[in-house]
Amino acid sequence: MRKMLKNRVGYLSGAPRISTLPEAAVSGPRTRVLGIVKGFEALGWKVNSFIAGDRVPRKWVTEESEPAVNSKAWKIFLIDLVRLGLNFVNARKAWNELNGKVDLVYEYNAALGSLGWIFKEYEIPWVVETHRPLFYEAEAERQNVFLKKLARERELKAYRDCDLIVTITEALKDILVREGGIPPEKVLVVPSSVDTDKFNPELAKPKRFFDGFTIGFVGNLYVWQRLDFLIEVLRELRDEGLDISLTVVGSGQMQKEWMAKALDLELAGNVKFVGQVPGDAVPDYIAGFDIGYSGHQQLQIGTMYHSPLKIYEYMAMETPVVASAFADAIEVIKDDETGFLFESGDKESLKIALRKAYAKRELLPEIGRKAREEIIANYSWNARVEMMLEKIQNLHVN
């Protein structure tokens, strides 16, 4: 038998680019890390953290690092070697700093290594949170890992060795069970959440770039976000006479290509690429949108396993969402009541959704208020941690 947990948790992250700094370029993971920590603290847990991205040179975690991790193969290989070396060193640093201060470790999953294994060796329960199968994305979607076989082996080993896996969708759970041979009962599905105190429209200072109806997007500019698709639809709707513009907040590997597309379609005056902004400024930009966009496409693995955090952030800011109709969006958005759904990859379906939103533009504030009410009632970080605690509290039993 392990000792009963004493409400002391160590939060671990070995990823060099995941940081809690406001200027961190990888904004989604930053939000999730801060949200889980806040949730534990709100429920009376003492949290001690070891976050590798808070201990590296600042340029590693800001927008400056993006070209390096999506560059030539030899550079990615060198980055992989740095990841492996840091993982070895940081696991021992984390143990030296947190030994005797924690009865449980909760780790945000990272490519090419984990930190929690050393705690598991001393019979401290180890929970791993994952939002994507990194071994698949690094090869098929992002191509930002060179040592792909080793990355896959190490990731699956962490899933098999830990005590509990926390993930965000049933689709991702199915992938872990199928690809990793993980027992289904070891995987806990807990929906995404949002900090409703931070994402509060009453506290925001809206930043708008257009007088007319504005679609907005916040996030990293990866190919599966399909902003190229939205830009094409925007051109067609403007040709129909709809005064619609687009604001894009974020950066990433597709930014130059999508900016060029906007220019090619003569939308330079109607599409604004803001670039990366500090995490604390994001609510102000969302407050300047009339609607938010989340247009994820089907991934090469054959299923959509993401739970886009932006959906929850838009809704918390009383900004209705136009979203591709995957399981997570269908779960949280009531079509025509708290947002608008469309079929992923279907241009006509997206145009129908945007025409509806445009036609209802006078009603969008009320739709947004209903959206925020839904988020507050069901998707706060405190509610998410509470969902996990019953399972976590049972981890004292071998």
User: From first to last of its 398 residues, what are the pLDDT tens digits of the chain?
Assistant: 455 567 899 999 988 788 888 777 777 788 889 889 998 998 899 999 999 888 888 877 776 555 555 557 767 778 778 777 888 899 999 999 999 999 999 999 887 778 999 999 999 999 999 987 766 665 554 556 677 788 788 888 999 999 999 998 888 898 889 888 899 999 999 888 888 999 999 999 999 999 999 999 999 888 888 899 999 999 999 999 999 999 999 988 899 999 999 999 999 999 999 998 988 899 999 999 999 999 987 655 545 566 788 999 999 999 999 999 988 889 899 999 999 999 988 999 999 999 999 999 999 999 999 999 999 988 888 888 888 888 887 765 44
Q: Cβ distance 169 to 138 under 8 Å?
A: no
Query: Which residue matches tokens 């896959």?
Result: 152
For residue range 192-204, list pLDDT tens digits in order. 888 899 999 999 9
* Number of helical (H) and strand (E) elements in the chain, helices listed first: 15, 12
Q: How far apart are CA 231 and CA 262, in angstroms?
A: 7
Q: Cβ distance 163 to 106 under 8 Å?
A: no
Class of domain 8-193+380-396: alpha beta
Pick the CATH number of 201-378 from 3.30.450.20, 3.40.50.2000, 3.40.50.150, 3.40.50.720: 3.40.50.2000
* Range list for CATH 3.40.50.2000 in the chain: 8-193+380-396, 201-378
Q: How far is CA 321 from CA 250, 292, 368, in A?
A: 18, 5, 9
10 Å Cβ neighbour count for 212? 13
Token code pair at residue 342: 């469309």
Q: How far apart are CA 164 and CA 392, in angstroms?
A: 8
Residues sharing a CB contact under 8 Å with residue 18, sequence separation 6 or more, in sequence order: 24, 26, 29, 30, 33, 51, 52, 53, 61, 108, 110
Question: Helices marked H in 204-269 — which ranges?
Answer: 227-239, 255-264
Residues sharing a CB contact under 8 Å with residue 148, sequence separation 6 or more, in sequence order: 135, 138, 139
